[in-house]
Structure 1
Amino acid sequence: MISIQGEAQGTTYHIKYFDKKQRNLKIAIDSILLDFDKCLSLYRSDSELSDFNKSTFHRYKSPYFFPVLKKSKEVFEATNGAFDPTILPLVNAYGFGPTKNKNPENADINSLLKLIGFEKILFDSYAVRKSKPEIQLDFNGIAQGYSVDIISDFLVGLDINRFMVEIGGEILCKGYKVDNKPWVTGIENPLKPGSLFCSVQLSDRAMTTAGNYRNHFEKDGQVFNHIINPKTGSMEQSSLLSVTVFAQDAITADGFDTAFFVMGLEETKHFVSKNPNLDICLLYTDDHGNLKTYLTDGIKNLIKEL
């Protein structure tokens, strides 16, 4: 097994794979992730996404922009707008985006809501435009999962079919390790960050997690967290602590984990019951502050609490 690691998208990546030719692919993978960043990064002023956010029309230069728009529309429509990439004006207003707002308590949410709504974005396979110049896209809720798929497709194209790709906690595994044993990963304990709640056996599937227990801050007694409801403009205060989604590809899982956080416990359970291609692990607190788990049937035999 070959193991490589590095940094990309402001986080780290770890990739393990079995290759009969024993190729070290780190240089090629770093190059792909750099090109991906040049397209979809919010934190590069020269990225395609930044260019579009400063204009009203953009013709794609890379192969990455259109697929992420297409999947974003799919998840936006399926979740009735719970996932919405036009949320960037709100993200910036609350102090979580590249444009830091030092006074989030003074944000004019009502006026910013007029800029929110993925239906205001029009695109085809060649270009994308928006109805108002102030509208801005934020793919942070889906792009990292997509980058996992990109690297996975790259490995498959080289006839490598046994691997684990992990970027910033978003994971896709294909095939098995030695002796037909599945890859093993884990889900973090949201009440004890840095330690695992459970282990997960994963093969031929993607797994992504969204949580509100890390990315938050407090100012003047008010807690601001990065899970924002695009329909109300408010930060979600929920019993949900983390949402892990299992799907055939990481871009799908990543888009839905963000949406499910906004939708909440009961609505998410109902949604997944009608979408058997998705499985979920929800970690939440009950009325007494105890950590509780909800698992769909498709993954119950793959998860072992620690």
Structure 2
Amino acid sequence: MRHRVESELCMGTTVTIHVVSSETDSIVARYIDSAFALFREVEQQCSRFDPDSPLRQLSHTVGKPVQVPEHLFNAVNFAVAMAAITDGVFTPTIGRNMEEHGFNRNYITGETVSWTGLVNTDANYQDIILNEEQRTITLMRPLLLDVGAVAKGLAVDLAARTLMNFPGFSIDAGGDVFVHGVDEDEKPWRLGIKHPLHPDDSICSLHAINDAAVCTSGSYYRISPSNPRVHHLLNPMKNRDDKGPETVSCTVIAPYAMMADAFSTAAFLLGKGQGIDLLEQNGLNGLIITSGLETYLTDKMEDFIYEFYK
């Protein structure tokens, strides 16, 4: 079978779509274009870096319901559910904190986007009221939303839905991967997990994954431009100087990329003990790696590990 690979810069990363098909190149290209269009839609609705995005506009409105686009509502809805599961360790109300650590630069233009509205430092996920029937969101206190930990996964899921009729495909969005069917050699997909201390290399490879997502959250992905000791995975409940065994990477396998994306971030923030417990309690498999390269796995994660590289 033929295969086609295309990449595009989107959502702050390089998104690569690999489709295996016996269809003509023009047909495959049309489907890939549709998949990339969904990434752009999600980004347009959920961007914290675009002053005109629905997310930024929502953050300017306090105390009254705002009807929002579908992708933004779904992203916030899932993020709030994750916040409830983790007692606020994972939260979509962390936008202002992200900006304060220098994560406020538009990846396309390089411009710094600073929040000019009010923010209540005590605001949390319970200050977000969702009405699914009306598709409205009400912010009860001033806050700046950030749904970066779920929006990319949501885009991967939407793109995957458009490609499901092909014999095989993979979508790789900077650590968020979804695979279906077979590769161009008509073999099951095999996925590499980046080495957290040497990101150009792999620390292990996974197999036996189909119609599922694999997402990795790592402290090496994005570093604060103002403080090289700070990465983008911020825990609002923990002091940065509170040093314990440091988690540097968390990989999660889940049926959907938005789920894998959110749970990999949440488990990373919780650390090896609580993080593995969180995954087990929710029927997910994953792998946490510390700065000393100690590895912690859920009970059934070994079934998916093809090989460890040391």
Q: TM-score, normalised by structure 2?
A: 0.84
Q: Which residue of 2 is the match for residue 295 of structure 1?
A: 297
Q: Which moved more, 1:136-145 or 1:87-96?
A: 87-96
Give the superposition deviation at 1:233: 6.2
Aligned residue number for residue 246 of structure 2? 239
Instruction: Tell me the alpha carbon deviations over residues 21-72 of structure 1, each in whole angstroms, 9 at most, x when there is no partner.
Output: 3321343233222222211111222211111122234212x32112112211
Counterpart of 1:129, as a letter, is: T
Q: CA deviation at 1:6?
A: 1.4
Distance in 2 of aligned mates of 1:154 and 1:42: 26
Render the CA deviation track for 1:188-217: whole Å, top value 9, x for unaligned. Answer: 111112111111223221011111134224
Asked if 1:129 corresponds to 2:132, the answer is no
Report the Cα distance in structure 1 between the residues aligned to 2:95 and 2:80, rounded to whole angstroms.
16
Q: Distance in 2 between the 1:65 and 1:235 partners?
A: 34
Tell me what 1:119 maps to: 126
Summarize the alignment of residues 1-306 of structure 1 with structure 2, pairs less than 5 Å apart: 1-22=3-24, 23=27, 24-25=29-30, 26-56=32-62, 57-60=65-68, 62-98=69-105, 113-115=121-123, 117-125=124-132, 126-132=135-141, 134-156=142-164, 159-177=165-183, 181-201=187-207, 202-217=209-224, 223-232=229-238, 234=240, 237=243, 238-276=245-283, 278-285=284-291, 290-303=292-305, 304-306=307-309
Deviation at 1:236, TM superposition (A): 7.0
- Residue 162 of structure 1 deviates from its aligned partner by 2.1
Q: 1:200–1:88: structure 2 CA closer, same or farther, 3 Å change rule?
A: same
- Amino acid in structure 1 at the alignment position of 2:96: P
Contact 1:17 1:160 in 2 (8 A): yes
Q: How far is 1:254 from its partner?
A: 0.7
Kept in 1, the 8 Å contact 2:215–2:264? The answer is yes
Work out the CA distance in 2 between the residues paired with 1:8 and 1:141.
15
Q: Secondary structure at the match of 2:148?
A: coil
SS at match of 1:86: coil
Unaligned segments of structure 1, at least 5 residues: 102-110
Go from structure 1 to structure 2 and tell me whether the alpha carbon gap of 1:227 and 1:31 turns closer, same or farther (over 3 Å shift): closer
Residues 27/270 of structure 1: CA separation in 2 closer, same or farther (3 Å cut): closer
Structure 1 contact 228–235 (Cα < 8 Å) conserved = no
| Residue aligned with 1:13, SS | strand
Give yes or no for contact 2:129–2:137 (8 Å, CA) kept in 1: yes
Give yes or no for contact 1:29–1:151 (8 Å, CA) kept in 2: yes
CA distance 1:67–1:209, change in 2 (3 Å) = same
8 Å CA contact 1:227, 1:236 repeated in 2: no
- Counterparts of 1:3 and 1:44, CA distance in 2: 29
Contact 2:269/2:275 (<8 A) preserved:
no
Judged with a 3 Å threshold, the aligned counterparts in structure 2 of structure 1 residues 32 and 264 are, in CA distance, closer, same or farther, namely same
Number of matched pairs: 286
C-alpha contact (below 8 Å) 1:144/1:167 kept by paired residues? yes
- Conserved 8 A contact 1:85-1:118: yes
CA contact (8 A) 1:282 1:295 kept: yes
SS at match of 2:16: strand
**Structure 1 residues 235 and 94, CA gap change in structure 2 (3 angstroms):** farther
Give the share of equivalent positions with the same residue, in percent: 24
SS at match of 1:68: helix
Question: Unpaired runs of 5+ in structure 2?
Answer: 106-111
> d(CA) in 1 for partners of 2:249 and 2:196?
7
TM-score under structure 1 length normalisation: 0.85
Change (3 A) 1:271 1:152: same
Going from structure 1 to structure 2, the CA distance change for 1:30 and 1:218 (only over 3 Å counts) comes to closer
| Structure 1 contact 93–100 (Cα < 8 Å) conserved | no
The CA RMSD measured in Å over matched residues stands at 2.4
Following superposition, the deviation at residue 239 of structure 1 comes to 1.8
Structure 1's 21 and 63: CA in aligned 2 closer, same or farther, altered over 3 A?
farther
